[in-house]
């Protein structure tokens, strides 16, 4: 009789095929999962990306000034991404429930126009009245008391699928960004994971009713602003942590150069201030400790397959930061909410009558900050 701690030859001969079958099954499963992750991923051949380390903002000490904001329209504004103001001092914002809302000086909030959907982003008021709106689904829209008109839905025969921000020139020309030609609003983080430049800067000519391309191959083209003299445009490249200057006039017309780079966060919207400087909202693109994901192709493929992992890695809702830079790209001021206690995911900052008005995709109000705080 065989000892109790030993198996008989017949048992061993029976187990060998089972072990072999299990090993083969596990190998097939591993191969299947690998194929699923790498070959059926929503991203393709991602580039590695070096995100700024936490220490990169150490020379801009945290101050939590954004925790002092007055909350305008609290509870009535669902994720007001951008803000604009007209000649009468009325504030406009587009919300995630499809409304264009107006905030009057007496504090009241008006449901002005319903555009339906949750795809409204950058806006700007026009000199003739009305509002220009970036709709990531429909393109560039003009909204007036009489209704809504689609100004630009295609460029060079291709659909404009992610219009992001817009500004009007004194001649009526509209300059606007397309964040990505591959990914959309609801899966924008995949653009960051793939890290390939699918963004564009476009110009709409209202007299010719034509849309043309000014710049291509931009890294998630985001905020757009004109200089005070309208001799150049500034466009933000979110995951390159920089803004570009594109010349519209003079000997350098048509040329592009870096306006500011090495930012400690991804630049979102940018707005011209009354003194000729610019306000830029900065995003924390990765949760603390998860920056390494962007330096590994395998990790990028894995994260891209899971919305839960994307939410874990995505850090935009953790804090809020805005900076003020002069016309030479020198940083003058920085305001933040380092822990996101009051404001987080600030996407735009507009200066008007000595106050800063702050839009966010993570609040139900517009923040109003007196500029005497700093």
| Share of residues in the chain with pLDDT > 70 (%) | 87
Q: What is the pLDDT of residues 303-318, one digit of tens each?
A: 999 999 999 999 999 9
> Is the model's pLDDT at 35 over the cut of 50?
no
Supply the DSSP symbol for 340. Answer: -
Q: Could you tell me if residue 60 is inside a domain? A: no
Q: Between 16 and 45, name the one with better pLDDT.
A: 45
**Res 25: pLDDT:** 43
% of residues, the chain, pLDDT over 90: 85
- Strand 154-155 and strand 158-159: the pairing is antiparallel
3-state secondary structure of 205: strand
CA gap 51, 111 in Å, rounded = 40
Residue ranges making up the domain that contains 158: 80-284
The string of pLDDT tens digits covering residues 238-284 is 999 999 999 999 999 999 999 999 999 999 999 999 999 999 999 99
Domain-embedded: residue 369: no
Between 354 and 51, the higher pLDDT residue: 354
Q: How confident is the model at residue 28 (pLDDT cuts 50, 70, 90)?
A: very low
Please give the tally of structural domains in the chain.
1
CA atoms within 13 A on the CB side of 164: 33
pLDDT reported for residue 57: 57
In a domain, 220, yes or no: yes
What is the spatial distance between Cα 180 and Cα 85, in angstroms, rounded to a whole number? Answer: 27
For residue 141, pLDDT over 70 is answered with yes
In this structure, is residue 232 part of a structural domain? yes
103 occurs within a structural domain: yes
Question: Cβ atoms within 10 A of the Cβ of 279, count?
Answer: 24
> Does pLDDT of 29 surpass 50?
no
Q: How far apart are the first and last CA of the chain?
A: 89
Mean pLDDT to the nearest integer, 209-213? 98
pLDDT for 47 beyond 70: yes
Q: Judge whether residue 134 has pLDDT over 80.
A: yes
Output the domain CATH number for residue 260. 2.120.10.30
Which position has the higher pLDDT, 54 or 358? Answer: 358
Q: What is the mean pLDDT of residues 229-236?
A: 98
Query: Can you give the pLDDT at residue 33?
Result: 47
The confidence score (pLDDT) of residue 16 equals 55
What mean pLDDT is predicted for residues 341-353?
98
- Give the separation between CA 235 and CA 211, rounded to whole angstroms: 17
Task: Tell whether 362 is covered by a domain.
Answer: no
Q: Tell me, yes or no, whether 259 lies in a domain.
A: yes
- In the predicted structure, residue 5 carries a pLDDT above the cut 90: no
As a whole number, mean pLDDT of residues 38-49 equals 88
Residue-level pLDDT at 50: 87
Q: Report the pLDDT value the prediction gives residue 91, as an integer from 0 to 100.
A: 98
For range 103-132, the mean pLDDT = 96
For the chain, the 3-state helix, strand and coil shares in percent, each to the nearest 5, are 20, 40, 40
Report yes or no on 64 lying in a domain. no
Mean pLDDT of 28-48: 68
pTM of the model: 0.90
Mean pLDDT computed over every residue of the chain: 91
Distance CA 270, CA 245 (A): 12
Average pLDDT over residues 99-121: 96
């Amino acid at each position: 009789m065989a000892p109790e701690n030993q198996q008989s030859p017949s048992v061993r001969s029976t187990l060998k095929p089972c072990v072999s079958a299990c090993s083969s099954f596990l190998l097939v499963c591993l191969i299947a999962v690998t194929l699923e992750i790498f070959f059926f991923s929503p991203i393709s051949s991602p580039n590695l990306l070096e995100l700024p380390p936490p220490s990169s903002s150490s020379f801009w000490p945290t101050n939590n000034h954004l925790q002092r904001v007055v909350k305008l329209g609290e509870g009535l504004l669902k994720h007001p991404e951008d803000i604009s103001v007209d000649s009468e001092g009325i504030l406009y914002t587009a919300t995630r429930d499809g409304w264009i809302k107006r905030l009057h000086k007496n504090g009241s909030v008006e449901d002005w126009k319903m555009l339906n959907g949750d795809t409204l982003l950058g806006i700007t008021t026009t000199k003739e009245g009305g509002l220009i709106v970036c709709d990531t689904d429909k393109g560039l829209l003009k909204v007036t008391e009489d209704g809504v008109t689609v100004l630009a839905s295609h460029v060079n025969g291709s659909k404009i699928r992610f219009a992001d921000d817009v500004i009007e020139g004194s001649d009526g020309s509209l300059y606007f960004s397309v964040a990505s030609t591959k990914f959309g609003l609801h899966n924008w983080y995949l653009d960051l994971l793939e890290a390939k430049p699918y963004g564009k800067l476009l110009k709409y000519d209202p007299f010719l009713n034509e849309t043309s391309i000014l710049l291509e191959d931009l890294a998630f083209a985001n905020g757009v602003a004109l200089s005070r003299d309208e001799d150049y445009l500034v466009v933000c490249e979110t995951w390159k942590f920089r803004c570009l200057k594109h010349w519209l006039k003079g000997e350098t017309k048509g040329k592009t150069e870096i306006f500011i780079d090495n930012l400690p966060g991804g630049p979102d919207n940018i707005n011209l201030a009354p003194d000729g400087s610019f306000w830029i909202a900065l995003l924390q693109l990765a949760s603390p400790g998860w920056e390494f994901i962007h330096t590994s192709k395998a990790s990028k493929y894995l994260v891209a397959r899971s919305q839960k992992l994307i939410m874990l890695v995505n850090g935009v809702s953790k804090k809020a930061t805005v900076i003020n830079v002069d016309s030479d790209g020198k940083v003058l001021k920085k305001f933040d909410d380092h822990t996101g206690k009051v404001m987080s995911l600030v996407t735009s900052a507009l200066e008007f009558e000595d106050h800063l008005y702050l839009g966010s995709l993570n609040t139900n109000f517009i923040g109003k900050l007196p500029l005497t705080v700093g």
